Structure 1
């Protein structure tokens, strides 16, 4: 697809980040460049430094040139960040370059975390095959509010000198409406079932969440089935009957926790991608950030053994949501399935006695099937 003034190339910024982030992102980038060439996709890709190693080398978690690239990026392909390895980093530098600030800067509000089971990995998951068969769900995690952004927050001392930690869980109805409208529309294009998850029984913000989602359903999405569920019940049902779920809408905190827990269905966090999206801009494009759900895993960083499939599948999300090529995205997802069906395994998804591939070799296995 040739770029034009009406259809400019997609600006893709690649930030490997910390720990295993650069290793898995390198494989995702190999695959993305392959699909760009194969499907003639108009993309302009640049890689720039970001993370704790960058701070130690330059004094900046996100150097000025990376800040400038973020401002012009349509999509960011991100690796991982280690928010705990920041001893000595000034608070203002930590805040200015944090992942939370990056999400806010890009205007991201909807975090998609798809969970789909692969039959080839039935024995890897702790669940029985009959529980896993047919699991295909997607979390929509509201990303701009809740306890991660609420004020006041911090560690303070009371009048007696005791320390206490303060975090504030807060939502306004516009934030809830925006995320819910996106989730309803997504469910409408899938199996037509939305499960809205909250703690309306003990949290005022949860009670508001339920009221707002219910009203939006009545006004705009009566063709979609709406179920309300408490967060603890959802955690249980993800274990007992995961096939009941299609799209799960929930807040920032519960979305983080529940989607990570659902990784047990897939067999590993190393298999779960994510896409974080903004509202559409005037040109129709959404700004976006794509990253594996897993963290920086410093214990295995540099060993070449990390599973790159979550990063590769995040590149598939980029192809779908930013490059606008459902064909390329689906082809890449099929290639991952084919590699697994043919026995390609990294250490996190290998059974005892099975041959194990390193990070780059798993990237090779996916490319071979493309």
Structure 2
């Protein structure tokens, strides 16, 4: 039985609660002989600021670099609103992404059959929805320099954020998107703003060159990012794989998340380059935030966190069968009527964070036999 080292970074708010439910699944996978895990737990975000005075300790980064994969809960909350910008909780997550080279963010937007009526859109628009959004994660306007606020001679202020992309950064994320498309519906939509942004002109050019040279068998469509946002609401099932830059990916993936009924349902993966051993640095986390308003109330939805573990099994460890079993168990738990309050509907059985985790483990046991 293979053994893997997992670094667990629960973080803040509801992070520790949803991570505890992942612990139940990890324990069962080991008991069932599907995989063996050695886990370490450390701090990130606000909890790390409280303990170390910064959102990610150097020792934690060293553990992350050595781990086979990282699972992260959520960071941030009003408790740390007054800290300096450079040591805000989110800076810990940004440092993990940057220092580990986690350039490819995969955000699936899947509408489970039992939750089609929970979407803000009509059932016929979202039933069967399965989009993979591929977001470039370590370049663009979030990391470009200069990034500053300066005071002008008249006393007013000017803020500058710089959108920067190179050919290599665009090409490598395009390869990820096209490779994924070949395993799915064989269609890629590339979203940019080439009509008003020079970075968009380069983005479209490089994605087109990668397609022509290596992936002519994959259908490619170029779409303006603002039109893409409209199309996600108008006819979302037209998309299969959607690749875009850091800023537009941040916005479009959250829009796509609400098509599924709740941010609490969606996992994500952040992957690095393939190394000499054929492995990647990888961090897996739910799309939702730390939700401090419901922390400690046994109310948070753990399914995005559990789904992030399923992505970890699939993309880091090559355990496709175990990942399929876990994804199926989530579907079964929902079909059985278990709902946290964010996805509750008339006639459903409202459970807490622990109850939903227990429902998934029970469904997983039934599938394993």
**Offset at 1:64?**
4.4
- Please say if residues 341 and 350 of structure 2, whose CA atoms lie closer than 8 Å, have aligned partners that are also in contact: yes
Name the counterpart of 1:143: 137
Return the alpha-carbon distance in structure 2 between the equivalents of residues 117 and 132 of structure 1: 6
* Aligned: 1:77 with 2:71: yes
- Secondary structure at the aligned position of 1:262 is classed as helix
> Which position in structure 2 is the counterpart of 1:62?
56
After the TM superposition, which of the residue ranges 89-98 and 43-52 deviates more from structure 2?
89-98
CA deviation string 1:85-141 (max 9, x = no partner): 434545554499521111011111110001111121122112111111221110000
Cα–Cα, structure 1 residues 77 and 351, in superposed 2: closer, same or farther, change >3 Å? Answer: same
Q: Distance in 1 between matches of 2:324 and 2:44?
A: 30
After the TM superposition, which of the residue ranges 337-346 and 235-244 deviates more from structure 2?
235-244
Name the counterpart of 1:180. Answer: 174
- Does the 8 A contact of 1:95 with 1:101 survive in 2? no
Residue segments in structure 2 that go unaligned for 5+ positions in a row: 365-369
- Change in Cα spacing, 1:240 to 1:347, as seen in structure 2 (3 Å) is same
CA contact under 8 A between 2:77 and 2:290: conserved in structure 1? no
* Deviation of the 1:251 alpha carbon: 0.4
Partners of 2:179 and 2:242 lie apart in 1 by 12
Matched pairs, number: 364
In the alignment, which of 216, 219, 226 is matched to residue 222 of structure 1? 216
Task: Check 1:95–1:155 CA distance in 2 against 1; reply closer, same or farther (3 A cut).
Answer: farther
Q: Deviations over 1:222-267 (max 9, x none)?
A: 0000000011111111111111111000001111111111112210
Q: Any idea what the Cα deviations from partners look like across 1:157-206, whole Å, max 9, x if unmatched? A: 11222122211111011000000011101101111000000011111001
**Distance (whole Å) between structure 2 residues aligned to residue 90 and residue 71 of structure 1:** 26
Is it true that 1:263 corresponds to 2:260 in the alignment?
no
CA distance in 2, matches of 1:350, 1:95: 31
1:41, 1:323 within 8 Å by CA — same for their partners in 2? no
Deviates more, 1:33-42 or 1:253-262: 33-42
Tell me if 1:332 matches 2:326: yes
Matched, 1:367 2:361: yes
Q: Which residue of 1 aligns with 2:367?
A: none
Whether contact under 8 Å (1:345, 1:357) holds in the other structure is yes
Listed as ranges, the gaps of 5+ residues in structure 1 are: 3-8
Given the alignment, which residue of 224, 240, 248 partners 1:246?
Answer: 240
Aligned to 1:190: 184
Decide which of 143, 147, 161 is 1:167's aligned counterpart. 161
Shift in CA distance, 83/251, structure 1 to aligned 2, threshold 3 Å: farther
- Cα deviation, residue 280, structure 1: 0.8
Choose 174-183 or 71-80, whichever is displaced more.
71-80
Q: The residue matched to 1:161 in structure 2 has which SS?
A: coil
**Equivalence for 2:349:** 355
TM-superposed deviation, 1:83: 6.8
More divergent stretch after superposition (150-159 vs 200-209):
150-159
**Greater displacement, 73-82 / 40-49:** 40-49
For residues 206-232 of structure 1, the C-alpha deviation after alignment (integer angstroms, 9 at most, x for no partner) is 110000001111111000000000111
SS in 2 for 1:160: coil
Pick aligned residue for 1:19 from 13, 21, 24: 13
SS at match of 1:211: helix
Task: Pick from 268, 290, 293 the counterpart of residue 287 of structure 2.
Answer: 293
Decide whether the 8 Å contact of 2:45 with 2:93 is kept in 1. Answer: no
Contact 1:50 1:61 in 2 (8 A): yes
- Contact 1:39-1:328 within 8 A present in 2 as well: no
Q: What is the SS of the residue equivalent to 2:103? A: strand
Instruction: Provide the alpha-carbon RMSD of the alignment.
Output: 1.8
